[in-house]
């Protein structure tokens, strides 16, 4: 891993790399025009992300955790510009990036890359690995000449623990973990500072997951990378993160430093999530069974969307949408119960 | 066996070998594995993708997809061989004695029929209940699996149920005719974490109550820790280690199990680096000679590259590893 | 590390890529499936033979039927060689004008295959472009293109071709139309067949576009047209190839139908359809060979190409493999 060429100055200061304010993205999931006219079916709007604010500090890992449909992957795609936000502001290194055109985004894309979930779908099956990794190099014209490109691809491959010779092969000749390494090499090709990782290990076997998580931590240390890490696996999030945001139905219900969140969860939903973690220490503790399921996000419950599953819900929770409240230890919680002190914090 | 019991095993799998003839030669996906299950016992079969765990389950239910075939060994349910039965006979046994729960509840339910009709049909095919008796039984079953207002919901269609509720319906279907054995292949993988625990608790509770043997096939050690009594860890078509869950998880003997446990991040346990097992599971086309784990094993020595280890009793568990050879001979 | 990077540079050489591609093909599942189905090997051989005979017709045909000087009306209505009165110079007999039936079939197949091949090629290009634009851009563009396709699909292909043909006939002066007849035919058959390509491409495009490798290309910042060309197109080529093969058979049939009806190719350049049409006049006067042989030739060609297309669909579909 002694690759001086790839190294960047270590993280300094607490200047935020990414700032999201009141970020929202709605999807029109209405039935087709003809159905709406003939059947009188109404327009349906899915509020995948609805007013999310957070900051990511340089050199740190911010994780978004939540169940499927909570909008965490949509946030990742908003940040990287695959979706344009319906509302809200997004700043990368002090520059507004919400709603930029493709051309305007190009210089920013160099500094911001993404690692995807499915290593079987994220590499073009008809391309050789060398061409896959060289694509960003060629697009940004980062190397002078073909020989330099090849050399750089070789470096990147060794950097992620593969051999430069592997560049000759096609993706199908690799295992899931190796493909994820190729995906990481491609993301690192432009020497980005910020990586968005959308469930990078959830399609991998556990022993391979450990390899990839270790690699990602090493890369962060060596290159001073900042991560936005998306996962549904709380143990992985605990292992990787400095700060964690818990999402439920398009909203952030709790944001806190990882150690605070896992030791002292405040929002009832965070508590519920922590209760579901399987106990590998075999202490034989009986867990409180969790009731209910995530409601349909097209018609979310009124007020606090968690109220139908919340043991502490009252009339205010059913009527009024809670706003994030800052706690003394740096946590932010959107819960009336915590605000009023009804829920033991 | 680790579990001491007077009763006979419910299911006995002996030297099972599953092969896939391909154009590049015959691949052995499951190679000479043996295990058994007592009535009411929950056996977890855990392994990474390609370990052969799902094929083992499919072979027991008799739903091995061609060209896969059982090439050797035997599977016996309550003392009767079931691996060599004609299709029709096996279908009856599958209906009456073995229930199945799969990963995606939508594939187990017919979207065109109400769940009541599917339950009633299943019950009537395998028992001689009348229509109204079967319907009463269906409502009871739905209540048992924790579906609220079963009298009303029995006439609804699968798409009217949420993911977790659908999986409950599938469990009701699997238990409809009081099977002796239930095979659950990744029963919670498609579900959200908060529902996962509910479903696992339900499977475990219902099967214990009814003295049903269960095989839970999963890639997730967490699922095993939650539900199983005993666990078989599979690697490259073989059982690497088998024993009581507690012993396997807390005091793994096989280097693979040991590495696997270390590679799972745990909350409250701060490490910069997870234990990692380098490399990945070999493809079926090039399984190494000797112990299949030898290229990734930190403790491999000469013998591991030459001879294939069989399961050896080590304390409470049995592990297929040459490290324990001496103990077996002398201790 | 230096020497291994050199190895990577080797892959850039065109020759290496070609040789490696060839090796991968012969090692691949498609070739394996080909080698293990005798029917398909026969169908393939038959198709290749047709193409060879058709395109080499001026050199390999026993007689040049376009050369009026070599024709002799005295040779007319000669039955095939094995019938009484057969002439060893004319293996499959002669037609009313004394042309060798075998040679007319070769020249006819030449016209039929040219029209079929070109119209499929044109339909394919049109369909790919429109299908990709519809699939990738989506929204209103997609709606407009696909509604046009739907309308077009509700007319039978033959009707569309007849309409276009009739239209050009009335617009263009007679002489010009004669000259352009082949072009009009190719254009109109292509226009009647692009929808199938467009629909398939759009469908595959919708699937591929949501795959993460396309999103990865978008994250790099590539222009959408470049993404479609470099990433999406190679991955939707499989189904296109299948439709193109089956489309060739149906285009040849459409052309034959039109020529049989007398609105296709000009009589000076007879295709298989024209031959069948001409011969059908003499069917009941006992000269069956004039129409039966071209008919059989057409049937065998279409059958072989269809078999190939069906096989290709199965061979390229990983689920059925």
C204-226 pLDDT, tens digit per residue, is 889 888 889 999 999 998 998 89
Region C56-61 average pLDDT: 85
Helices (H) and strands (E) in chain B, counts: 12, 12
Whether residue B209 lies inside any domain: the answer is yes
Higher pLDDT, A325 or C27: A325
Assess B277–A contact: CB distance below 8 Å, yes or no: yes
Q: Which of A314, A284, A320 is nearest to A302 (CA)?
A: A320
CATH classification of the domain holding B201: 3.40.50.300
Strand bridging mode B230-235 / B42-46: parallel
pLDDT at A316: 92
Segment (H or E) for C164: helix C157-171
Other C-beta atoms lying within 10 Å of the C-beta of residue C276: 25
- Spatial distance between the Cα atoms of C241 and C238, rounded to a whole number of angstroms: 5
Inter-helix orientation angle C139-153/C101-137, to 10°: 150
Task: Look at A116 and C234 and tell me if their CB atoms are within 8 Å.
Answer: no
**Number of independent structural domains in chain B:** 1
Pairing assessment for the beta strands A16-28 and A87-92 based on DSSP bridges: antiparallel
Mean pLDDT of chain B: 88
Which among B163, B265, B292 is the top mutation candidate for probing chain A, defined by the most A β-carbons within 10 Å of its own β-carbon?
B265
The matching CATH number, chosen from 3.40.50.300, 3.40.630.30, 3.40.50.800, 3.40.50.2030, for A4-241 is 3.40.50.300
The full length of chain A comes to 345
pLDDT on residue A3:
47
Decide: helix, strand or coil at residue B13. Answer: strand
Q: How far, in Å, CA of B206 to CA of B213, rounded?
A: 11
Do the Cβ atoms of B273 and A277 come within 8 Å? no
Per-residue pLDDT, averaged over C57-67, amounts to: 81
Given this model, what pLDDT does residue B67 score?
Answer: 86
Q: For C37-316, CATH number?
A: 1.10.3720.10
- Structural tokens at position B97: 């004695």
Q: Please check whether residue A85 touches C, CB under 8 A.
A: no
Of B198, B250, B263, the CB nearest to A206: B263
Q: Do C4 and A82 touch (CB under 8 A)?
A: no
Phi and psi, residue A19, nearest 5°: -130, 125
- Compare B147 and C157 and report the one with higher pLDDT: B147
**3-state SS, one letter per residue, for chain A:** CCCHHHCCCCCCCCCEEEEEEEEEEEEECCCCHHHHHHHCCCCCEEEEEEEEEEEEECCCEEEEECCCCCCHHHHHHHHHCCCCCCEEEEEECCEECCCCCHHHHHHHHCCEEEECCCCCCCCCCCCCHHHHHHHHHHHHCCCCCHHHHHHHHHHHHHHCCCCHHHHHCCHHHCCHHHHHHHHHHHHHCCCCCEEEEECCCCCCCHHHHHHHHHHHHHHHHHHCCEEEEEECCHHHHHHHCCEEEEEECCEEEEEEEHHHHHHCCCCHHHHHHHHCCCCCCCCCCCCCCCCCCCCCCCCCCCCCCCHHHCCCCCHHHHHCCCCCEECCCCCEECCHHHHHCCCCC
Which one is predicted more confidently, B236 or A297?
A: B236
**C12 DSSP assignment:** T
Q: Is A57 within 8 Å of A17 (Cβ atoms)?
A: yes
CB contact under 8 A, A167 and C8: yes
Does residue B74 form part of some domain? yes
Alpha carbon A234 to chain centroid distance? 13
Contact status of A153 with chain C (Cβ, < 8 Å): yes
**Which of A30-44, B156-170, B238-252, C3-17 is predicted most confidently?**
B238-252
Residue A153: list chain C partners with CB under 8 A.
Answer: 8
CB-based contact A130:A167 (threshold 8 Å): yes
Q: Is the pLDDT of residue C1 over 50?
A: no
> Looking at residue C65, what is its pLDDT?
75
Q: Determine contact: A156 vs chain C, CB below 8 A.
A: no
Range of the domain at B43: 12-97+179-243
C213: nearest CB among A124, A130, A153:
A124
Q: How far apart are CA B171 and CA C251, in angstroms?
A: 54
Residue in A116, A121, A150 nearest the CB of C8: A150
φ, ψ dihedrals at B72, nearest 5°: -160, 165
Residue A299 has a pLDDT of 85
Q: Cα-flanking dihedrals φ and ψ of residue B15, to 5°?
A: 45, 40
Inspect the interface and report whether the beta carbons of C216 and A118 lie closer than 8 Å: no
- Whether A164 has its CB under 8 Å from any CB of chain C: the answer is yes
The segments of chain A whose pLDDT lies below 50 read 1-12
Q: For residues C312 and C321, what is the distance between their CA atoms, to the nearest angstrom?
A: 11
Nearest to B241 by CA among B16, B35, B11, B41: B35
Asked which of B58-72, B141-155, C268-282 is least confident by mean pLDDT, the reply is C268-282
The 3-class secondary structure across B30-48, one letter per residue, is: EEEEEEEECCCCEEEEECC
Identify whether the C-beta of residue C64 lies closer than 8 Å to the C-beta of residue C70. yes
Task: Give domain limits for chain A.
Answer: 4-241, 242-345
The minimal CB distance from A205 to the residues B219, B265, B272 is found for B219
The C-alpha of C231 sits at a distance from chain A's nearest C-alpha, in angstroms, of 7
**Which of A106, A116, A158 lies nearest to residue C212, judging by beta carbons?**
A116
pLDDT surpasses 70 at C13: no
pLDDT, average across residues C223-236: 89
What is the rounded average pLDDT of the residues C72-89? 78
Best of C210, C218, C219 to disrupt the A interface by mutation (most A CBs within 10 Å)? C219
Tell me the residue ranges of DSSP E strands in chain B. Answer: 11-22, 25-37, 42-46, 69-77, 80-81, 98-101, 181-185, 213-218, 230-235, 238-244, 312-314, 317-319
**pLDDT-based confidence at B194, cuts 50/70/90?**
confident
Which residue of chain C is at minimal alpha-carbon distance from A146?
A: C9
DSSP-derived letter for residue B8 is P
Q: Of A113, A121, A164, which is closest to C1 when you measure between CB atoms?
A: A164
Does A289 contact B197 at a Cβ distance shorter than 8 Å?
yes
Is the pLDDT confidence value at C317 over 90? no
% residues pLDDT > 90 (chain C): 26
Question: Given this model, what pLDDT does residue C169 score?
Answer: 83
Rounded-to-integer distance, Cα B39 and Cα B37, Å:
7
**Domain range list for chain C:** 1-26, 37-316
Please answer yes or no on whether B274 and A210 come within 8 Å at the CB atom: yes
CA–CA gap between residue C157 and residue B192 (Å, rounded): 51
Residues of chain C with a CB closer than 8 angstroms to some CB in chain A: 1, 4-5, 7-9, 11-12, 211-213, 215-224, 231, 234-235
pLDDT beyond 60 at B170: yes
Q: Indicate the SS3 state at residue C161.
A: helix
Predicted confidence at residue C318, as pLDDT, reads 55
> What pLDDT, on a 0 to 100 scale, did the predictor assign at position A207?
86
> Neighbours of B (≥3 Cβ pairs closer than 8 A)?
A
How confident is the model at residue A9, as a pLDDT? Answer: 45
pLDDT at B330: 46
CA atoms of C124 and C136, how far apart (whole Å): 17
CB atoms within 10 A of CB A125: 13
Give me the residue from A106, A147, A154 closest to C221, CB to CB.
A106
Specify which of A296-300, B27-31, B64-68, C259-263 reaches the highest per-range mean pLDDT: B27-31
pLDDT at residue A12, as a whole number: 46
pLDDT tens per residue across span A146-177: 888 888 999 999 989 998 888 888 898 898 89
Higher-scoring residue by pLDDT: A192, C162 = A192
């Amino acid at each position: 891993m002694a690759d001086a060429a790839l190294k960047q100055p270590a993280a300094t200061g607490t200047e935020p790399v990414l700032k999201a304010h009141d970020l929202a993205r709605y999807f029109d999931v209405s039935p087709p025009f003809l159905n709406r006219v003939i059947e009188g079916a109404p327009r349906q709007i899915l509020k995948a992300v609805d007013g999310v604010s957070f900051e990511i500090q340089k050199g740190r890992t911010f994780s978004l955790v939540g169940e499927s449909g909570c909008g965490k992957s949509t946030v990742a795609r908003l940040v990287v510009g695959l979706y344009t936000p319906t509302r809200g502001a997004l700043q990368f290194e002090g520059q507004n990036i919400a709603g930029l055109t493709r051309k305007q985004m190009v210089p920013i894309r160099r500094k911001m890359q993404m690692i995807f979930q499915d290593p079987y779908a994220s590499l073009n099956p008809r391309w050789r690995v060398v061409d896959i990794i060289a694509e960003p190099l060629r697009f940004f014209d980062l190397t002078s000449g073909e020989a330099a490109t090849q050399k750089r691809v070789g470096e990147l491959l060794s950097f992620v623990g593969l051999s430069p010779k592997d560049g000759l092969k096609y993706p199908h000749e690799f295992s899931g973990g190796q493909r994820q390494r190729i995906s990481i090499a491609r993301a690192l090709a432009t020497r980005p500072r910020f990586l968005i990782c959308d469930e990078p290990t959830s399609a991998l076997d556990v022993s391979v997951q450990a390899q990839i998580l270790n690699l990602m931590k090493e890369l962060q240390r060596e290159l001073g990378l900042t991560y936005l890490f998306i996962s549904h696996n709380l143990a992985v999030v605990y292992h990787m993160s400095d700060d964690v945001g818990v999402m439920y139905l398009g909203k952030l219900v709790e944001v806190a430093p990882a150690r605070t969140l896992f030791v002292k969860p405040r929002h009832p939903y965070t508590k519920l999530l922590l209760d579901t973690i399987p106990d590998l220490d075999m202490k034989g503790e009986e867990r409180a069974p969790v009731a209910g399921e995530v409601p349909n996000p097209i018609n979310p419950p009124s007020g606090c969307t968690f109220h139908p599953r919340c043991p502490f819900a009252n009339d205010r929770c059913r009527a009024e949408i809670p706003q994030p409240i800052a706690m003394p230890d740096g946590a932010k919680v959107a819960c009336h119960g915590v605000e009023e002190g009804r829920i033991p914090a | 066996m680790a579990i001491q019991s007077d009763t006979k095993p419910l299911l006995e799998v002996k030297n099972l070998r599953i092969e896939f003839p391909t154009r590049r030669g015959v691949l052995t996906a499951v190679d000479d594995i043996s295990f058994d299950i007592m009535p009411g016992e929950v056996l977890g079969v855990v392994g990474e993708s390609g370990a052969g765990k799902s094929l083992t389950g499919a072979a027991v239910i008799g739903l091995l997809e061609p060209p896969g075939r059982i090439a050797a060994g035997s599977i016996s349910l309550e003392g009767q061989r079931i691996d060599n039965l004609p299709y029709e006979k096996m279908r009856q046994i599958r209906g009456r004695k073995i229930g199945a729960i799969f990963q995606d509840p939508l594939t187990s339910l017919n979207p065109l029929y109400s769940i009541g009709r599917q339950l009633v049909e299943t019950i009537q095919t395998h028992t001689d209940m009348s229509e109204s008796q079967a319907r009463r039984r269906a409502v009871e079953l739905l209540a048992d699996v924790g579906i609220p207002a079963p009298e009303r919901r029995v006439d609804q269609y699968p798409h009217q149920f949420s993911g977790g509720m659908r999986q409950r319906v599938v469990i009701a279907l699997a238990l409809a005719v009081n099977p002796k054995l239930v095979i659950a292949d990744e029963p919670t993988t498609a579900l959200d974490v908060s529902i996962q625990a509910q479903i696992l608790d339900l499977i475990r509770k219902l099967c214990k109550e009814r003295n049903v043997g269960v095989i839970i096939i999963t890639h997730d050690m967490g699922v095993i820790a939650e539900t199983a009594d005993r666990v078989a860890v599979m690697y490259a078509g073989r059982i690497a280690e088998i024993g009581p869950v507690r012993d396997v998880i807390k005091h793994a003997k096989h280097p693979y199990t040991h590495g696997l446990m270390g590679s799972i991040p745990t909350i409250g346990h701060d490490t910069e680096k997870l234990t990692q097992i380098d490399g990945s599971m070999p493809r079926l086309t090039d399984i190494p000679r000797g112990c299949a784990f030898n290229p990734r094993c930190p403790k491999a020595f000469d013998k591991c590259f030459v001879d294939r280890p069989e399961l050896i009793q080590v304390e409470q568990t049995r592990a297929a590893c040459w490290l324990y050879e001496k103990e077996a001979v002398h201790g | 590390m230096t020497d291994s990077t050199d190895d990577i540079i080797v892959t850039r050489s065109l020759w290496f890529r070609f040789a490696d591609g060839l090796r991968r093909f012969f090692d691949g599942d498609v070739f394996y499936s080909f080698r293990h189905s005798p029917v398909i090997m026969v169908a393939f051989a038959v198709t290749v033979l047709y193409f060879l005979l058709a395109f080499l017709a001026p050199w390999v045909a026993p007689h040049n039927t376009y050369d009026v000087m070599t024709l002799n009306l005295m040779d007319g209505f000669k039955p095939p060689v094995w019938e009484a009165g057969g002439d060893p110079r004319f293996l499959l007999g002669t037609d009313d004008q004394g042309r060798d039936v075998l040679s007319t079939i070769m020249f006819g197949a030449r016209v039929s295959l040219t029209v079929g091949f070109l119209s499929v090629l044109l339909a394919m290009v049109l369909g790919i472009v429109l299908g990709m634009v519809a699939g990738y851009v989506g929204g209103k563009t997609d709606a407009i293109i696909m509604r046009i396709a739907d309308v077009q699909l509700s007319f039978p292909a033959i009707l569309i071709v007849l309409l276009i043909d009739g239209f050009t006939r009335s617009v263009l002066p007679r002489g010009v139309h004669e000259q352009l007849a082949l072009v009009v035919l190719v254009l109109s058959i292509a226009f009647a067949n692009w929808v199938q390509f467009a629909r398939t491409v759009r469908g595959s495009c919708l699937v591929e576009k949501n795959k993460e490798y396309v999103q990865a290309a978008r994250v790099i910042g590539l222009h959408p047209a470049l993404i479609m060309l470099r990433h999406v197109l190679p991955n939707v080529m499989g189904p296109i190839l299948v439709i193109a093969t089956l489309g060739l058979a149906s285009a040849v049939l459409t052309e034959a139908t039109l020529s049989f009806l007398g609105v296709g190719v000009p009589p000076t350049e007879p295709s298989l359809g024209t031959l069948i049409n001409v011969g059908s006049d003499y069917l009941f006067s006992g000269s069956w060979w004039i129409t039966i042989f071209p008919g059989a030739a057409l049937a065998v060609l279409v059958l072989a190409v269809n078999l190939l297309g069906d096989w290709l669909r199965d061979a390229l579909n990983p689920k059925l493999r």
